[in-house]
Amino acid sequence: MTMTTLQEPTLQEKPTVPRVIDSVSPTSGTRVFRDTVAGEWIKLRTLRSTYAFLVGGLGATMLGSLILYLLIQSYDKATAADKGNFETADPSVVSIPFVMFFVGSIGAMLITSEFTTRSIGPGLLAVPQRRLLLGAKATVAGTAALLAGLFFASLSFASAKMLVGDRPAPINPWPVWTDALPKVFCATIIVMVTTIVAVGLGTWFRSTASTLVTLGSLLLVAPAFAHFLPTVWQLRFGSILLPNLIPQLAGSNHPYVLSQGGAVAVTVGYLVLALGAGTISFVRRDVS
Amino acid sequence: MLDAGAAHPGRTAFHHLESLARSNGIGKARVKAVLEKVGLESVAHKRLGGFSLGMRQRLGIAGALLGDPAVILLDEPVNGLDASGIRWIRSTLRSLAAEGRTVLLSSHLMSEMALTVDHVLIIGRGRLLKATSMEEMRDRFARDVLVRTPRAGELATILTGLGASVTSDGGEELVVVGVDAVTIGGAAAAAAIPLHGLTPRAATLEDVYLELTNDAAEYRAAPEKAA
């Protein structure tokens, strides 16, 4: 290999010495993190996939409302005896898992797109502190997911409440509007947690396909798989799945087994496990 | 700049640079300035997927310039570029050096580096084998002088007498080692021998590199066997 240099030429007039821009001078940790977050925010909002997945989330919400509409139509035509056997018109079962997948995919793409396009290289040149970079990505993805989750959860629950109207339980689980608020809040939190978990998974796998398949398996396949387990294990296994943490966090754990505190612990466990694995992978493995 | 192609194809040039700049607290004005400097301002809002290799190299250099660095380190900046791209890189790097920056290039393209740089560091297996200026290298690794004259035999005798080693192709050409072109020209003039050509030939950077790294080469092709 040959390393070659261009030397400063001998000039009559001294050239302007390149200045170091003030804003890139050593700064506080908070400032560095804030700048990194700002950079990651630009990356997130300039990825086309971000908008595609948001449209997917909206589609899932609208599809969920359509399914609930059909359920209520069916309910209205049912006999009084059959009406007691209807499921509740709860979007946390019908549409929120799909919203979790679509919004979570935004978090996954924030990191996997950099590995697949090799733009992680310039990213690490700009911010060599890997923990800080991953933390900024998780912060940006989590914040975006919090906003998107709040929007989709509010839309899902509001449309469900409008559709179900004043019908009695069990199809209407919320006699008044405000009864749905704990679930809206918990669904929002779980959408955010799922997205941060997706960032961790993406950092570990470094592949969009692997990450989205794993995310889809966790959110959509595992709950279906749980139905085939013996009842005891069905409930135990089902209780720790991300979509099923929503009712448990909201304090209505039927039919699952976790208390509210237990649900919080499992939720935190997901974050620690995914981000921990992602951090270890990001810090220890070479990116080239 | 390590890999100019390492950018998301769905992002625009401006957004690519803006994300890098913002993560270091650098504003949009600087992004616009570096895009203008590398001549990409007209395509700043086009997606990178449609960029040629040359445009990506320009973008990579723009990224390297964001922080207005005093030292710029570029890895293989001319790889895969066409002639106009190479010329642009060469003039850009020279202008960056003229601004007072140190520009450090890493390359295997010896002929291109010979045209571009002032100083050479030759590295083999992680060890610095040679650090010299191009000018010094040209002088030190001067190879021979090619002489064309209709009285080759006479001139060869004179030059041998001056201590030179002369080889002849039997015609008008002599290859002279051991004396420089000035001495040969003077000797020919003194003997009234006409010269049709007098060409000092220096070793190329490639020759020097191969000579210096002969022991440091990691992989070597087997010599071809004579048929």
The tokens for A180 are 């749905």
Other beta carbons within 10 angstroms of residue A71's beta carbon come to 19
Q: Could you read off the pLDDT tens digit of each residue along chain A, which spans 288 residues?
A: 455 555 444 433 444 545 544 444 556 778 999 999 999 999 999 999 999 999 999 999 999 999 999 999 999 999 988 888 888 888 888 899 999 999 999 999 999 999 999 999 889 988 999 999 999 999 999 999 999 999 999 999 999 999 998 888 888 888 888 888 999 999 999 999 999 999 999 999 999 999 999 999 999 999 999 889 998 889 999 999 999 999 999 988 778 899 999 999 999 999 999 999 999 999 998 876
- Cross-strand pairs, B123: B128
* pLDDT at res. A14: 42
Residues 61-100 of B with CB under 8 A from A: 63, 67-70, 93-94, 96-100
The H-or-E segment that residue A6 falls in is strand A2-6
pTM of the model: 0.79
Distance between A244 CA and the closest CA of chain B, angstroms: 36
Q: Give residue-wise pLDDT tens across range B126-142.
A: 888 888 888 887 777 76
* pLDDT at res. B215: 66
Q: In the A/B pair of chains, how many CB contacts fall below 8 A?
A: 162
Query: 3-state DSSP: chain A helix, strand, coil percent, rounded to 5?
Result: 75, 0, 25
Which site among B8, B37, B128, B204 would you substitute to test the A interface, given the most A Cβ atoms closer than 10 Å to its Cβ? Answer: B8
Domain edges within chain A: 31-284
Q: Which residues of B touch A38 (CB under 8 A)?
A: 22-23
Calculate the dihedral angle through the C-alpha atoms of A207, A209, A212, A215, rounding to the nearest 10 degrees: -80
Closest Cβ–Cβ partner in A17, A18, A21 for B26: A21
d(Cα A133, Cα A52) in Å, to the nearest integer?
Answer: 24
The complex's ipTM works out to 0.82
- Is there a contact between A122 and B63 if contact means CB atoms under 8 Å apart? yes
Question: Quick one: which of B76, B137, B126 has its CA closest to B105?
Answer: B76
* pLDDT at res. A108: 97
| Strand-pair category, B102-107 with A2-6 | antiparallel
Report the phi/psi class of residue A11: left, alpha or beta, with left for phi > 0 and alpha for psi in -120 to 50.
beta
* pLDDT at res. A168: 87
- Cross-strand pairs, B58: none
B195: Cβ contacts below 8 Å, ≥ 6 apart: B147, B148, B149, B185, B188
* pLDDT at res. A98: 96
Ranges of residues in chain B whose predicted pLDDT is under 50: none
Which amino acid is it at B28? K
The gap from C-alpha A15 to its chain's centroid, in whole angstroms, comes to 52
* pLDDT at res. A15: 44
* pLDDT at res. B185: 94
Q: Which residues of B touch A11 (CB under 8 A)?
A: 98
| Strand-pair category, B71-75 with B102-107 | parallel
Q: Which residues of A touch B111 (CB under 8 A)?
A: none
Question: Quick one: which of A18, A127, A129, A126 has its CA closest to B71?
Answer: A18
* pLDDT at res. A49: 94
* pLDDT at res. B77: 85
Residues 24-43 of B with CB under 8 A from A: 24-27, 30
Closest Cβ–Cβ partner in B8, B15, B118 for A7: B118
